[in-house]
Amino acid sequence: MKGTVYKSTGSWYTVKSKEGVFYECRIKGKFRLKGIKSTNPIAVGDVVTFDEDLSAEAQGVITDIQDRKNYIIRKSVNLSKQTHIIAANLDQVFLIVTLNNPTTFTSFIDRFLVTAEAYHIPAILLFNKIDTYTTEELNEIRYLASLYREVGYQCLGISAITGKNVDQVKEMMLGKTSMFSGHSGVGKSTLVNAIEPKLDLKTKNISSQHLQGQHTTTFAEMFDLEIDAKIIDTPGIKGFGIVDMEKEEIGDYFPEFFKLKGECKFNNCLHIDEPQCAVKDALDQDKVAWSRYKSYVQMIKGEEENYRTDIYGEK
């Protein structure tokens, strides 16, 4: 049978069959993944083949895993250098942004978007709490939205509290598996509640504890919503994981830079000190946003650690 993994708790996997029946499954044999040393061979979102265990009720054995279209990972904090696959096969990720309370800096947004690009996961920006902003702040949101739209990202102003534009978010979620990310306090739980009041995600309780430096024993979980949509909740992780990137590839994850790259004199141009650089020319002509370029330079010049750390790590 074929099914999708909704939850994994170490050795057991909850798999929903095509017919909509949940099975508790174990793994048979070893699953080796090309290039990643992972602590978990199968993750939430994986599409698997399993055999029903006829001697037990609603149990099975996973025998095969379908190629993933993408996955997000987390590096273990210890020295083993192992990675943990948080979730697989995401259709999109929503980054919830607030101007203040809490402040979301463009450097954070850009880092997040770069990670999404590297993971090949479409990202959408939701500017939340628009019920609280002054005219001036709303103008700033408009400016940011136009900036990111220009780059190619969908942007939407919402209020999880008043329900403004929440229907549009629901519409974007139809038929897809989504994840919500953003700093603590931007309104992730409130938004998910506005979308599906009956769903009581764990995100909130867990994130209020201090998980720093601790090995979290919480696991990602997938939920079917009443509308035809799925969400993946990652309690205690909240993040989007990390990607190892080489300096040379960071620019490729800024879509507006990538488009210009062919016009740079050097085909390995880092858009920093090189002559006849199309990105710097565009910057001079205000065709590329300074905030984006600044984030890029920070990522390039930053310590290795800076662009390799979990973007959700508080330190």
Ligand X SMILES: Nc1nc2c(ncn2[C@@H]2O[C@H](COP(=O)(O)OP(=O)(O)OP(=O)(O)O)[C@@H](O)[C@H]2O)c(=O)[nH]1
| Number of residues located near ligand X, criterion CB under 6 A | 19
- Name the residue type at position 125: L
Q: Choose the stretch contacting ligand X; rule: CB under 6 A; options: 7-15, 43-51, 188-196, 271-279.
A: 188-196
Q: Which residues contact 100 (CB under 8 A, 6 or more apart)?
A: 137
Query: For Zn ion, which residue of 87, 130, 279, 299 counts as binding (CB under 5 A)?
Result: 279
Smallest separation (angstroms) from ligand X to the CB of 153 = 20
Contacts of 271 (CB under 8 A, 6+ apart): 251, 257, 264, 277, 279, 280, 293, 296
> Rounded distance, CA 74 to CA 44, Å?
14
Task: Provide, rounded to whole angstroms, the least separation between the CB of residue 79 and ligand X.
Answer: 29
List the single partner that 231 binds among ligand X, Zn ion, none, CB under 5 to 8 Å by kind.
Answer: none
Q: Per CB under 5 A, which region of 58-66, 111-119, 149-157, 276-284 contacts Zn ion?
A: 276-284
CA atoms within 13 A on the CB side of 204: 11
The answer to whether 75 is a known ligand-binding residue is no
Is 218 one of the binding residues for ligand X (CB under 6 A)?
A: no
On whether 190 is known to bind a ligand per the annotation, the reply is yes
* 3-state secondary structure (DSSP) of residue 259: helix
Asked, as a colleague might, if the bond just before 235 is cis with ω within 30 of 0, I would say: no
Establish if 190 lies at the interface with ligand X (CB under 6 A).
yes
- Tell me the two tokens of residue 97: 């942004």
Residues forming contacts to ligand X in the complex (CB under 6 A) are 128-129, 131-132, 159-161, 182, 184-190, 203-204, 207, 238
Question: From the annotation, which residues make up the binding site for GTP?
Answer: 128-131, 182-190
Residues forming contacts to Zn ion in the complex (CB under 5 A) are 264, 269, 271, 277, 279
